[in-house]
Amino acid sequence: MTPPSAPWLGAVALGDGTVRFRLWAPAARRVELLLDGRAHTMAPEDDGCHCLTLRAAAGARYRYRIDGGEPLPDPASRWQPDGLHGDSAVVDPTAHAWQDPAWRGRPWHEAVVYELHVGSCGGYRGVAEQLPRLAQWGITAIELMPLAQFPGRRNWGYDGALPFAPAAAYGHPDELRALVDRAHALGLMVLLDVVYNHFGPDGNHLGGYAPMFFRDDLPTPWGAAIDFRVPQVQRFFIDNALMWLREYRFDGLRLDAVHAIRPPAFLGQLREAVYQALPPDRQVHLVLENEDNRASLLGPGGYTAQWNDDFHNALHVMLTGETDGYYAAYAREPERLLARVLGEGFAYQGQAMHDGRLRGEPSAQLPPTAFVAFLQNHDQVGNRAFGERLRELVDEPRLRAATALLALCPMIPLFFQGEPWGSRAPFLFFTDFEPPLDAQVREGRRREFARFPAFADAHARGAIPDPNAPETFARSQVRIDEAGAGEGARWAAWFAALLALRHRHLVPLLPQARALGAGVPGPGAVEARWSLGALELQLAANFGDAPVPLAAFPGARVLHAENGAGDGERLPPAGFVARLRDAP
């Protein structure tokens, strides 16, 4: 696909005081633009679009009226000042004076990612205030949960209905640009989570005037599937990706749940269009979430990396003993599965899971940096009934060992908001839906957890937090000032020291990293080795209850150790050690 040179849909400022308005509405007979209270008939085009160019200033309010119906916001709106159901507004993306126009990004192997939810961190301005401390600790990239305009003022972002409009609850689009600018000035990349597999349950009107946007032969958990066979649908989402990368200068995108995108060939079209459309000197990173573990999408000429659920799930079972839900696939021999992750990338590479379903493709040929590893993220914390973090579920020595394993592993580490200072605040599932959707979501959430033995009693007592209650969102706020004293300051200093070791000793050599093997030295323990070119790295961790043998690594020096590890030939419970030696 030839990469777009200019936005196709929406209100596009042309630089001469005029704005071109275009809507794809192939099922509409007549489309009117309602601009600042006046109606203007739009001209139909051959591809099903309706277009009109008028004089308009930035901030001008508008809607579309289709076949005399109720006025609707623009599905490609760049700004919804009054929220999802309000007017759309014209935005001039050239109005912001970028402070660091020479920024071209950072190499992927330098990434240490911090995932955050903008709303629970105080909006765009609140996030910007946190950036200096994050950079000081060794974070090199922040990843924002989805920003697409959603219903109400509180939402995780996966219920977005207008994917081109940054959520009004977080601030003005220029404040988002200022946030990206501030991050770049501190040397931080900014990644954005985007949702191209579905629209939210409220506020999407495309089916009424562009029914071919969807298909009814492919069921999804969110309703009718998006039809990625249609060229106009492909262009809609490619333009969206390019908007974030061009107009907001994001350094990369994380594509949510791409296993739900059908046909999957669109993923190749999107990747090719993005890289062809951007200057060759820009370092832009495209990351996948993909339950199918399709290793063939990664590597040279493919996507940069994938979130590695296998790393998290196997390690979570080892740390907590939980085996409900998706953890059931890791209940047997989690040590062996984690060792395979460390040595080969994915735990499941075409094997049958506990339910008989085949999952994955061979991944040992991929570099460690093709995988994003994590102990916690928005899903793994927020999709618990009470949003508990590992600080509430795991004793501190084992959690420190697990965090050290993540921080010093050659995969790309991702940390969730609050993790650097050991926050204990929950991260709950929150929404701001109007009736009757609010009650449907609340009861659906409670039915979901009724299936889990660990939460059945809480469900019976009605204790599962109401997603729509304001206090549910309030409890999920992240207070970085907790890192300034006491337990938070102690944890943050330890965390920063870990990342300093990573940046000094590992990051410069990661482009040469390749796995040399991994194994299970005893119950609850793993050991793995990597070649880093001139050096070899060994990591070993014991989450079990008894000491295990520590594999010999002649000539090694200890890079980091936790809980008495590294002083002998055995690894104690909750022990972790990282050792380096010159390559033979």
Give the residue-averaged pLDDT of 236-260.
98
Q: Distance between CA atoms of 44 and 252, rounded to whole angstroms?
A: 35
Q: Distance between CA atoms of 515 and 410, rounded to whole angstroms?
A: 9
Count CB-CB contacts under 10 A for residue 261.
21
pLDDT higher than 60, residue 461: no
Buried b (16+ CB within 10 A) or exposed e, 429-440: bbbbbeeebbee
Give the residue-averaged pLDDT of 126-155.
98
pLDDT at 326: 87
Task: Report, in angstroms and rounded to the nearest whole number, the Rg of the chain calculated over CA atoms.
Answer: 25
Give the residue-averaged pLDDT of 334-355.
97
Mean pLDDT, the chain, whole residue set: 95
Active site residues: 256, 289
Q: Distance between CA atoms of 268 and 514, rounded to whole angstroms?
A: 26
Give the residue-averaged pLDDT of 452-465.
68
- Beta bridge mates, 372: 307, 412
Residue 563, CA distances (Å) to 330, 394, 567 in order: 26, 15, 10
Q: Distance between CA atoms of 369 and 502, rounded to whole angstroms?
A: 14
pLDDT higher than 80, residue 417: yes
Give the residue-averaged pLDDT of 39-63.
97
pLDDT category of residue 101 using cuts at 50, 70 and 90? confident
In the chain, the percentage of residues whose pLDDT exceeds 90 is 91
pLDDT at 456: 65
Give the residue-averaged pLDDT of 450-469.
74
The type of residue at 190 is V
pLDDT at 219: 82
pLDDT category of residue 43 using cuts at 50, 70 and 90? very high
Q: What DSSP line would sit under 96-139, residue for residue?
A: S--S-TT-----GGG--EEEE-TGGGTHHHHHHHHHHHHHHHT-
The pLDDT tens digits for 193-218 are 999 999 999 999 999 999 999 998 99
- Beta bridge mates, 18: 55
The pLDDT tens digits for 254-306 are 999 999 999 999 999 999 999 999 999 999 999 999 999 999 999 999 999 99
Q: Which residue has the higher pLDDT, 486 or 4?
A: 486
> Cβ distance 433 to 441 under 8 Å?
yes
Q: Which helix (H) or strand (E) holds 180?
A: helix 173-185
Q: Which two tokens stand for residue 502?
A: 């990573």
Buried b (16+ CB within 10 A) or exposed e, 4-28: eeebbbbbbbeeeeebbbbbbbbeb
For residue 44, say if its preceding peptide bond is cis, omega within 30 degrees of 0.
no
Q: Which residue has the higher pLDDT, 223 or 560?
A: 560
Indicate the pTM of the whole model. Answer: 0.97
The CA-based angle 293-294-297, given to 5 degrees, is 135
pLDDT category of residue 458 using cuts at 50, 70 and 90? low
pLDDT higher than 60, residue 459: no
Q: What DSSP line would sit under 36-104, residue for residue?
A: TTEEEEPEE-TTSEEEEEEE--TT-EEEEEETT---B--TT-S--TT-TTS-EE---TT-S--S-TT--
The pLDDT tens digits for 329-342 are 999 999 999 999 99
pLDDT at 448: 75
The pLDDT tens digits for 68-86 are 999 999 999 999 999 999 9
pLDDT higher than 90, residue 446: no
The pLDDT tens digits for 362-401 are 999 999 999 999 999 999 999 899 999 999 999 999 999 9
Q: Distance between CA atoms of 519 and 25, rounded to whole angstroms?
A: 57
**What are the E-state strand segments in 462-556?**
514-519, 525-531, 535-542, 548-549
pLDDT category of residue 462 using cuts at 50, 70 and 90? low
Q: Which residues contact 30 (CB under 8 A, 6 or more apart)?
A: 41, 66, 67, 68
Q: Distance between CA atoms of 463 and 60, rounded to whole angstroms?
A: 46
The type of residue at 515 is A
Q: Distance between CA atoms of 443 and 433, rounded to whole angstroms?
A: 13
pLDDT at 1: 54
> Cβ distance 139 to 127 under 8 Å?
no
pLDDT category of residue 5 using cuts at 50, 70 and 90? confident
pLDDT at 454: 67
Lowest mean per-residue pLDDT among 149-163, 337-351, 361-375, 559-573: 559-573
pLDDT at 449: 75
pLDDT category of residue 430 using cuts at 50, 70 and 90? very high
- Residue appearing with tokens 């102690």: 490
pLDDT at 457: 65
Kind of pairing, strands 576-582 and 535-542?
antiparallel
> Cβ distance 150 to 160 under 8 Å?
yes
pLDDT category of residue 251 using cuts at 50, 70 and 90? very high
Q: Distance between CA atoms of 454 and 469, rounded to whole angstroms?
A: 23
Q: Distance between CA atoms of 356 and 463, rounded to whole angstroms?
A: 34
> Cβ distance 275 to 360 under 8 Å?
no
